[in-house]
Amino acid sequence: MKTIVLKVDVDTYRGTREGVPRLLRLFQSRGVNATFLFSLGPDHTGRALKRVFRPGFMKKVSRTSVLEHYGLKTLLYGTLLPGPDIGRSLADIMRMTEAAGFETGIHCWDHIRWQDGVAGADPAWTRRQFHLAADRFREIFGHAAPTHGAAGWQMNAAAYLEEERLGLAYASDVRGRSPFRPVVDGKALACVQLPTTLPTLDELLGIGDIVPENVHHHLIAASGEEREFGHVYTLHAELEGMRLLPAMERMLDAWQAMGYRITSLGELYRSLDPERLPCHRIDTGEVPGRSGLLSVQGEAA
């Protein structure tokens, strides 16, 4: 299928307030669909500075101009400045997104806490974080969240099991090649994984001669290989919704010129027969341009 799924990770207060409305206007102007995954609790972005000792983190920061894209105030939230409650302060923007016809779902409760903590967390911690987000989502939208996409592609076994218990039909928590049913603790789960298949802009920027003005060429080239289920592209409200909005515009125009249908996670899931999907284990692995280990699609089980 010539399909591109747009999965928008909304990590911060500023990304919700400024990036999301800009992306809505852009997507509506091009007549495309997308899934917006919201961070629903406190913005503690400043606490990410403790990653300075993680291998590859400083190299990524220097390549992608974190201060330029996120802004100084955001980088102080949770340290020198209190972290604003995103869901409580900006619920109107979240509801506006759904009212405009776009799918919405859960990214996390506290982005930094999940991304830095879930890999080593116990089931009780994982369930609490999940339910804080799920309860806030229901409070804002008046219904349960249809999907989840893990912050930083970070998960643990309890998180996949919690998606199952919450009745989610599909999620996008991992990097991979194609849709699959995850095998956790020896059991194939019903909640289908729709993995991110394409690199993100922040993984490409600063590599060789790649700059904001030409990064779209590399992304378009990566999506040129047609796949049975299309591609899933993860963008960020703080990047493509702000300073990299022109790059997003160029990508949309190129994809549409190439004949790609641009849609949401939900529409992709509804085109599948879950019972016929392969079952795969989930591993951890490195992704070029990104520091640390991520959840990745493993071998068939």
Q: What is the pLDDT of residues 236-258, one digit of tens each?
A: 999 999 999 999 999 999 999 99
How confident is the model at residue 218, as a pLDDT? 94
Stated pTM of the model: 0.91
Q: What is the pLDDT of residues 180-239, one digit of tens each?
A: 999 999 999 999 999 999 999 999 998 999 999 999 999 999 998 878 899 999 999 999
How confident is the model at residue 291, as a pLDDT? 84
User: Rounded to whole angstroms, how far apart are CA atoms 176 and 185?
Assistant: 20
Domains, the chain: 3-300 (3.20.20.370)
How confident is the model at residue 47, as a pLDDT? 60
> Distance between the two ends of the chain, CA-based, in angstroms?
25
Q: What is the pLDDT of residues 9-39, one digit of tens each?
A: 999 999 999 999 999 999 999 999 999 999 9
Q: How many other CB atoms sit within 10 Å of the CB of residue 24? A: 20
Query: What mean pLDDT comes out for the span 72-83?
Result: 64
Phi and psi at residue 81, to the nearest 5°? -120, 145
Query: What mean pLDDT comes out for the span 46-67?
Result: 51
Is the pLDDT at 76 greater than 70, yes or no?
no
